[in-house]
Amino acid sequence: MRVLTWNLFHGRSVPPAGRDLQAEFAGLIAGWDWDVAMLQEVPPWWPPELARDAGAEQCTALTSRNSLLALRRALAVRRPDAIKSNGGGSNAILSRRPIVEHRALRLRAWPERRVAQLARLADGVCVVNFHASARVPLAEDELALLWQRSLAWADGAPLILGGDLNLRSPGHPDGGIVQVARRDVDHLFARGMRAVGEAARLERRVNLDTGPVELSDHLPLIVELIR
């Protein structure tokens, strides 16, 4: 199973492109070879179309700044670099394997809503996708609770947990859990599965009419796992 994690930076690029980049993000994601894609900071209206273009199923969990979403969407499509994260946010799991269960788990309501996704695939693998708070003490508390809830929910099944954890050295419980990918604050852990080789960083540069840009301020990470 090839697993991708990527924070989409609310659909923006470095340097700013000054326009909507859904087609460019969708093209990269669809073209990469993965089975499960764990995405964070996704414009909430993107996941169905990203999944369609990639030939995948999807599940979405709204995170923060989603009141008056129709208005936020209208502004974000026209001026994504001006509205930034105020365009609304979500986490999304795309899977080219059937998803048989999905739950959204709220870990914090204040000072900013933080929601994890728990998805179970038809082959029994459990996938947990999360974007933690930017403040380290908050992120550490959220991750500790997420481990507790995720391990109980997985109930011994193979488990993949990660995303943008906003921690450079996140902890994890004992009991066969190993870190299989890391880069800055982006991490993937697994239990009941092991990595085949090192995690890879995928190319995110695209050429626009105005010149080359890098999609997102995070690198996409991918790793191959086997049981």
Q: Mind listing the pLDDT tens digit for each residue in 9-34?
A: 999 999 999 999 999 999 999 999 99
Q: Quickly state the pLDDT bin for 76 (edges 50, 70, 90).
A: low
> In the chain, what percentage of residues exceed pLDDT 90?
88
Q: Does the pLDDT of residue 77 top 90, yes or no?
A: no
Name the H helices within the chain.
22-31, 47-54, 69-78, 80-83, 136-154
- Structure tokens of 145? 């609770």
Q: Check whether the bond before 47 is cis (ω within 30° of 0).
A: no
Give residue 16's identity as a one-letter amino acid code: P
Residue 221 contacts residue 5 (beta carbons within 8 Å): yes
Domain count of the fold of the chain: 1
Longest Cα separation, the chain = 51
Alpha carbon distance 184, 219 (integer Å): 9
**Model pLDDT, residue 89:** 87
Is the whole-model pTM more than 0.75?
A: yes
Q: Does the pLDDT of residue 71 top 90, yes or no?
A: no
Q: Does the pLDDT of residue 227 top 90, yes or no?
A: yes
A 10 A CB-CB count for 151 gives 18
CATH code for the domain of 94: 3.60.10.10
- Residues of the domain holding 63: 2-226
* Mean pLDDT score, 91-119: 96
Return the residue matching tokens 């993949």. 160
Alpha carbon distance 35, 1 (integer Å): 6
